[in-house]
Structure 1
Amino acid sequence: MNTIHFYKKVTSSLLLTLTLFLAVTSCEEYLEEQPSTLIDSGYVYNTEEGLKSGVVSLYKFNRDRYDRSIEDFMGAVLLSSRSDLAFNRSGYTGLMGRYQRGVSPIDLGANFVSTLFWKHYYNMANKATDIINAAEVVKGVDEDTRNKIIAEAKFFRAQSYFFLYRMFNNIYVTTESVTVDNAFDLIQDKSSKEEIFALLNSDLDFAIEYLDWNVTFGRVSKGTAKHIKAKVAMWEGDWEEAKTQALSVIEDPNSPHSLVSSTADVFKGDRNHSEQLFVIQSQDNVLGGGDATMMNANYVTQYFQIPGIEANIEQGGRGFSRVLPNLYLLNLLAEDPNDTRDDDTYFRLKYYYTSGVNAGQEITIYEPITDLNNPSSTYTRYYQRLHPSCIKFAQEDDDPNSYLQRSNILVYRLAETYLIAAEAILRSGSGDPLPYINTIRTRANAAPLSSVTLQDILDENARELAFEGERWFTLKRMGADVLNFQMRNYAGDGEYFPNNFGGDRDPRVNWQDHFINFPIFQEDLDLLGPNYPQNDGY
Structure 2
Amino acid sequence: MKESMKRINKQLLMLAVALLVIFPACELQEQPHSVFTPDNYYDNESSILTSLSGVYRDFATISSMGPPYRVLELTTDQVVVHAKIQGWWDGPDFHNLARHEWTPSHAWIGDFWNQLFGTVGQANALISSLRSSDLDGLEGPIAELRALRAYAYFYLMDLYGNVPIFTEPKVDPNNLPTQNTRTEVFDFVIEELSAAAEVLPSANDVGAEYYGRLTKEAVYALIATTYLNAEVYTGDAQYDMAIEYADQVINSGAYRLLDDYHANFAADNSNNEEMIFGSVYTPNETGGIGHPFVLKVLPGITGGLFDLPFTPQNGFGTRPSVVELYEDQDVRKEMFLTPGPLTDPRTGDTVMVERIVPDGNSELYVEGESDQGPVPYEIIKADGLRNQPMNAGVKWIKWGLDPNTDGGDASNDIAWIRYADILLVKAEAQLRSGTGNPLALVNRVRERSNASPLTSLTLQDILDERGRELAFEMSRRRDLIRFGQFTNSSWEFKEPSEEYRRLFPIPTEALDANSNLDQNPGY
TM-score by length of 1: 0.76
TM superposition shift of 1:173 = 1.0
Q: Out of 430-439 and 511-520, give the one that drifted further.
A: 511-520
2:474 corresponding residue in structure 1 = 469
The yes-or-no answer on 1:437 pairing with 2:457 is: no
CA distance in 1, matches of 2:68, 2:158: 16
Cα distance, 1:313 vs structure 2: 7.4
Asked if 1:388 corresponds to 2:391, the answer is no
Alignment deviations for residues 504-525 of structure 1 (CA, whole Å, 9 cap, x no partner): xx3226x332221112221211
The alpha-carbon distance between structure 1 residues 129 and 57, as it changes in their structure 2 partners (threshold 3 A), is same
Q: Which of 141, 161, 164 is 2:156 aligned to? A: 164
Q: From the superposition, tell whether residues 46 and 173 of structure 1 become closer, same or farther in structure 2 (CA, over 3 Å).
A: farther
Separation in structure 2 between the aligned mates of residue 362 and residue 513 of structure 1, nearest angstrom: 48
Residues 7 and 523 (structure 1), Cα distance of their counterparts in 2 relative to 1, 3 Å cut: closer
User: Matched residue of 2:213: which SS?
Assistant: coil
Contact 1:423 1:457 in 2 (8 A): yes
For the 8 Å contact 1:277–1:414, the answer to whether it is kept is: yes
Equivalent position of 1:147 in the other structure: 139
Percent identity among equivalent residues? 22
Tell me whether 1:327 sits opposite 2:320 in the alignment. yes
The corresponding residue for 1:34 is none
In structure 1, C-alpha distance between the alignment counterparts of 2:307 and 2:443, rounded to whole Å: 31
Match of 2:200 in 1: 211
- The CA deviation at 1:195 is 1.8
How far apart, in 1, do the equivalents of 2:486 and 2:79 lie? Answer: 14
1:30 is aligned to none
1:263 aligns with 2:276: no
User: Where do 5+ consecutive residues of structure 2 fail to align?
Assistant: 1-21, 84-88, 231-236, 344-349, 353-364
Cα drift, residue 404 of structure 1: 4.7
Question: 1:79 maps to which residue?
Answer: 72
Q: Structure 2: how far apart are the matches of 1:160 and 1:288?
A: 23
Structure with greater helix share of residues:
1
- For 1:286 and 1:59, the matched residues in 2 are separated by 16
Partner Cα separation in structure 1 for residue 67 and residue 167 of structure 2: 30
TM-superposition CA deviations, 1:98-143 (whole Å, max 9, x none) = 2376x1123xxx223212x1011111112212222343453341xx
- Check conservation: 1:425, 1:431, Cα contact below 8 A: yes
Contact 1:158–1:203 (Cα < 8 Å) also in 2? yes
Is residue 130–residue 177 contact of structure 1 (8 Å, CA) maintained in 2? yes
CA contact (8 A) 1:73 1:295 kept: no
How big is the shift at 1:286?
5.1
Distance 1:515 1:368, change over 3 A: same
Distance in 1 separating the partners of 2:59 and 2:41: 19
Aligned to 1:485: 488
Equivalent residue runs for 1:212-291 within 5 Å: 212-214=201-203, 215=206, 216-236=210-230, 237-253=237-253, 255=254, 257-272=255-270, 273-284=272-283, 289-290=288-289
- Residue type of the alignment partner of 2:486: L
Query: 1:303, 1:385 within 8 Å by CA — same for their partners in 2?
Result: no
Q: 1:367 to 1:357 in 2, by over 3 A?
A: farther
Distance 2:251 2:155 in 1: 27
* Partner residue of 2:107 out of 103, 111, 114: 111
Q: Quick one: distance in 1 between partners of 2:54 and 2:475?
A: 25
CA distance in 1 between counterparts of 2:470 and 2:177 reads: 37
Aligned residue among 142, 161, 175 for 2:167: 175
Question: How many equivalent residue pairs?
Answer: 456
The answer as to whether partners of 1:276 and 1:413 remain within 8 angstroms in 2 is: yes
Q: 1:60 aligns with which of 35, 57, 60?
A: 57
Shift of 1:289: 2.2
Change (3 A) 1:150 1:4: closer
Structure 1 unaligned spans of 5+: 20-37, 370-374, 493-505
Q: Retained in 1: the 8 A contact 2:330–2:449?
A: yes
Cα distance change, pair 98–319 in 1 and its aligned pair in 2 (3 A): same
Moved more, 47-56 or 153-162: 47-56
Mapped partners of 1:284, 1:322: distance in 2: 22
1:368 and 1:121, CA in 2 relative to 1: closer, same or farther beyond 3 A?
closer
SS at match of 1:508: coil
How much has 1:283 moved relative to structure 2? 1.8
| Equivalent-residue separation in structure 2 for 1:226 and 1:288 (angstroms) | 30
Match of 2:26 in 1: 7
Q: Are the equivalent residues in 2 in contact too, given 1:303–1:386 (CA < 8 A)?
A: no
- 8 A contact 2:266–2:399 mirrored in 1: no
8 A contact 2:27–2:173 mirrored in 1: yes
Q: Is the Cα contact below 8 Å between 2:67 and 2:109 reproduced in 1?
A: no
AA matched with 1:9: L
Cα distance, 1:318 vs structure 2 = 4.6
Farther-moved stretch of structure 1 (263-272 vs 280-289)? 280-289
Letter in 2 for 1:186: L
Alignment CA distance shift 1:327-1:156 (3 Å)? same
Q: What does the per-residue CA deviation read over 1:208-233, in whole Å, with 9 as the maximum and x for residues that have no partner?
A: 22222234222222222111111111
1:208 maps to a residue whose letter is A
